Structure 1
Amino acid sequence: MAAALSIVMPETFHGLCTFHIRRNFMKHLGNHYKENSNLPYMFGACMYEFEEVEQFNRVWEAMVKKHNLENNEWLSGLYRIRDKWARCMMKERWTAGMRSTQLSESLNAAIKNHLKLDHDLVQFFRHFNSVVDEKRHNELIAEYEMRQKLPMVGLRQTPMLVHASETYSPTVFVAFQNEYGESTTMVILRQQDAAMFVEFVVMRYDGGPERIVVFNRNDLSVRCSCKKYENEGILCGHALKVFDTVGIKIIPPEYIKR
């Protein structure tokens, strides 16, 4: 699949399904999984948690050494293609937040509910079309409800949230509202002004990693070191905190993906 995509869709990023990686992890390393072992937790942290490459490499090396996995071919091969599955390596890859093939798996499950082993080709396509029609009908209902109803605003209404509720689909709005809520728990530690750019250091009140947000005075753009927008298409709480600080009250149009 990877070879075909590189030829047919060269601009497309090909990632690996985290669900299948975890399943193969148990198949290839199950004999290393002992009672009270932290191997699956260290592996899961490398896949989902770490945002910095240095931290990922440090924990990976400690995991391999602690569990004597230096000569494990499957794990070594997986490390060589870490840019396809490790969170820290995918920060700037556009994935819309998807890390697994749950969409295709759910479609496969829906089709299986309508099939039997003795169906011929005509019966198969008849049932397949029924599944597709049902999916499209559900999409039309969701589209209608999105246009007829504004999503519930769970936080104090502000111009930014009102604008988001009128712009985003309900699902995306919930994700945006969560980030907006996070921004209210953040503080700007310091800022450094230059001719065109202003660099802010942002973190949560209760601690956590510091993030660098660079604000461009000319085009009012922001770029955060957490790379959430580049990866998921939604502005992060750090960037929203900076927008609030500089007085930007609605979402700039270039940050609203179609």
Structure 2
Amino acid sequence: MDLDANGVVFEEAWSKMVRKYGLQNNKWVLDTYNNKGMWAQSYLRGHFFAGMKSSQRCEGMHAFFNEHLKRKMKLFEFVRCFDMALYRLRNKEADAEAKTDNSDPCLTTALQPLEKHAATIFTRRLFLMFRNEIIEEALLIFDGRKEEFDHRIYKFSKYTEFGSTWEVSYHPATSIMKCSCKKFEFFGLPCSHMISVMKCEHMTEILPSCVMYRWTKQARKVGFEEARNAFFTMTCRMKQLCMAKGTNVDEGKSSLPPFGVGDPKVVNTKGNTGGSYMAKPRKPRRCQCCSLGISVLFNDW
């Protein structure tokens, strides 16, 4: 909403907190307030963070691996459990991708054309988030529309939330839509206010400007192909450099084997310079009484 986007709500809440606890002259509080643009969500709404807050992703990974790892675990046990955790994580991701590619979700909202289009372009997880925004749209109240020179401004408020207003600007010529809540800029998903404008404009598909490519079904496949091509190009380049470095210009021969990988260098072992004791013939066992070899006694017998 406008108040949150401009930081007014944050300023009021911060002032109330400072007065309540008498922190007007506290140095740490003053320094933290001066750096509010680095941590306060009200001032970060216009930047893309994929919905992550603070160290959310790092702590989420820690929580996932803590289910498989224990304290005072031996190294070989850690490697085995860590590999198993990665396997389960990859298997979960592959399962989600299979559901996205091989099944269609049930349409449950009143805006089925928009919901169906979202199901065809978004991954399953993002589709469910988009459907929640459609459900939230039912709580919005249309407060009017204002015609400008090249765009329209829609105003909305929310049921039972007095004083909260949002404005969505829509440019029909360029099909660009922006909301004052800036959820699309922050997360990359159309908000309920933008969906309400699509409903008012009788749209049956989501505007291309409201679709972030990284959340679509094709993003993973294209990204994998780009990574594979880049890796193949780098591998070929490394082969060329390695072969060129190991080529003897005078003899026309390569001093390095293919790919620059050869047998390890043989070094003398420390201590026993005469070789390994395993290579020496074992001394014959002798009888303690007559000092004859055991093998001789058995042969005579």
TM-score, shorter chain, exceeding 0.5: yes
User: Of residues 213, 216, 220 in structure 1, which corresponds to 2:175?
Assistant: 220
Report the TM-score, using the length of structure 2 for normalisation. Answer: 0.62
Residue 172 (structure 1) shift: 1.5
SS at match of 1:188: strand
Q: Percent identity between the aligned chains?
A: 24
Aligned pair 1:237/2:197, yes or no?
no
User: Of residues 21, 37, 42 in structure 2, which corresponds to 1:88?
Assistant: 42
Aligned pair 1:108/2:47, yes or no?
no
Query: What is the alpha-carbon distance in structure 2 between the residues aligned to residue 128 and residue 144 of structure 1?
Result: 24
Aligned pair 1:210/2:159, yes or no?
no
Matches within 5 A, 1:38-187: 50-112=4-66, 113-117=68-72, 119-120=74-75, 124-156=78-110, 158-187=112-141
Deviations 1:68-97 (A, max 9, x none): 112334333322222233221111111222
Q: Which has the larger radius of gyration?
A: 2
Aligned pair 1:250/2:205, yes or no?
yes
Query: What is the alpha-carbon distance in structure 1 between the residues aligned to residue 161 and residue 63 of structure 2?
Result: 43
In the alignment, what sits opposite 2:151? 197
Residue 214 (structure 1) shift: 0.9
8 Å contact from structure 1 (residues 146, 170) kept in 2: yes
8 Å contact from structure 1 (residues 94, 230) kept in 2: yes
209-218 or 176-185, which deviates more: 176-185
Query: What is the alpha-carbon distance in structure 1 between the residues aligned to residue 13 and residue 189 of structure 2?
Result: 29
Gaps of 5+ in 2: 215-301
Number of paired residues?
209
8 Å contact from structure 1 (residues 203, 238) kept in 2: no
Query: What is the alpha-carbon distance in structure 1 between the residues aligned to residue 149 and residue 202 of structure 2?
Result: 19
In the alignment, what sits opposite 2:274? none
Q: RMSD over aligned Cα, in angstroms?
A: 2.4
8 Å contact from structure 2 (residues 5, 180) kept in 1: no
8 Å contact from structure 2 (residues 96, 124) kept in 1: no
Detail structure 1 runs of 4+ shifted over 6 Å in the superposition: none
Deviations 1:183-212 (A, max 9, x none): 233333222222311122222354541211
Report the TM-score, using the length of structure 1 for normalisation. Answer: 0.71
Residue 159 (structure 1) shift: 0.6
Q: Counterpart of 1:225 in structure 2: which amino acid?
A: S
